[in-house]
Amino acid sequence: MSGFGDLQSLASSITAVTSPFRNYLNDLYERYRSLDDGAVADYIPELALAKPEWFGICVITAEGQVFEVGNCDQLFTIQSISKAFVFGLALEDYGRESVNSKVNVEPTGEAFNAIVLDEATNRPCNPMVNAGAIATADLIKGANSTERLKRLLAMFKRYTGREHDINVPVFLSEKATGYRNRAMAYLMLNFGMVSDRIDETLDLYFQQCSILVNAKDLAMMAATLANGGVNPVTQERAIDERYVQDVISVMLTCGMYDASGEWCYRVGMPAKSGVGGGITAVVPGQLGIGTFSPPLDAKGNSVRGIKVCEDLSRDFGLHLFNAAKPDRNLAEWLAGGDGLNDW
Ligand code: GLN
């Protein structure tokens, strides 16, 4: 009855329960749960309902071990985090060159909702700012709006291994008040950078932002990218292997809004944040991190989420360009060793 896969997942869940890494995450959670900097997004009333004390941290390894602490089942809207994954689907639909002819991959240093297009080519700067995300959503194939949305939801299911719903009140509020997004969409239409089904595309963009996820989903999505595009638990491929590097490179250079440079310098992980309070961060080949805490800093990034990722990066030497021996050896901590780095 129980195949090798079952035994393997049983073994890894036992390790996940006993691993000292679990204690490390508990300490991390305790360290930052009382931090009360930042403010919950309130540009629409539905987001302002989020409780500032909600806080969850989930880490999933590329082998599928799951570690979680805090509010990891609390649902919230994915918001801008969706942009990285929809970019991946657009690449699958049209290929690198064609997508790049519509959306550049240059960090802006501007706020995510800036109305800026590349002067020479009229392209939005990158797929992680709103203009670029709308142009990317425009590329998602499908005969009609329902089919396009279904394709997005099916994609997120491949990454997380479960069905996702849309928070309809958030969608309707985003749609009703998204004048700025509408303005940039029409500016791009004026330059012929998006198709004339722009109202349908705007709906799709507002819907993708309103997809409900939890911190565990964000960790699983990151772990899937860390694992070359295959969900480490379901073993389902979520994205063509060829495009994983495209998605995570743009996450590294543009994923944290206009704090991306500082994030790269301090944390050194491809990541994407959203105004719902989520962050998804990838340590290629090793693990995915999902954090959830609604209070945001002035740039729109979760305050506690940044702290958590900074500490994980520093303590385990997870910065992409780290060449020094870290204080702690992650493999040993995960495997249940004493956690002391003696190599
Ligand atoms: N729905 C938001 C917007 O389009 C997404 C913003 C975000 O998470 N930065 O403005």
Q: What is the pLDDT of residues 237-263, one digit of tens each?
A: 999 999 999 999 999 999 999 999 999
**End position of a domain, from candidates 175, 209, 243:** 209
Angle at 103 between CA 101 and CA 104, to 5 degrees: 90
Count of CB atoms within 10 A of residue 42's CB? Answer: 12
Q: Identify whether 342 is part of a domain.
A: no
Asked whether residue 91 is assigned to any structural domain, the reply reads yes
Tell which atom from ligand 1 comes closest to the C-alpha of 180: 10
* Active-site residue (options: 275, 282, 283, 308): 275
Token look-up 């994205």 returns: 239
Domain that holds residue 102: 80-209
Please identify which of the residues 32, 83, 86, 170 carries the catalytic annotation: 83
In tens, the pLDDT along 128-147 reads: 999 999 999 999 999 999 99
306 & 292 share domain: yes
Same domain, 122 and 100: yes
Mean predicted confidence (pLDDT) in 302-318: 97
Cα 283 to averaged position of ligand 1 atoms, centre (Å) = 25
Ligand 1 pocket test: pick from 275, 279, 280 the residue with the most ligand atoms within 8 Å of its Cβ: 275
Q: Are residues 287 and 224 in the same domain?
A: yes
- 227 CB-near residues (< 8 Å, 6+ apart): 62, 285
**CATH code of 97's domain:** 3.40.710.10
Q: Is the CB of 173 under 6 A from ligand 1?
A: no
Q: Are 317 and 74 in contact (CB under 8 A)?
A: no
Q: What is the pLDDT of residues 188-219, one digit of tens each?
A: 999 999 999 999 999 999 999 999 999 999 99
Residues 199 and 219 in one domain: no
Domain boundary residue, one of 174, 209, 244: 209
Classify residue 86: in a domain, yes or no: yes
What per-residue confidence (pLDDT) applies to 338? 41
Ligand 1 site, residue 174, Cβ cutoff 6 A: yes
Residue 318 and residue 283 in contact, taking contact as beta carbons nearer than 8 Å: yes
pLDDT digits (tens, 9 = 90+) for 9-39: 655 555 555 678 999 999 999 999 999 999 9
Residue 343 within any structural domain of the chain:
no
Global pTM reads 0.93
73 and 215 fall within a common domain: yes
| Total Cβ atoms within 10 A of residue 102 | 21
Query: Looking at ligand 1, which atom is closest to the CA of residue 43?
Result: 10
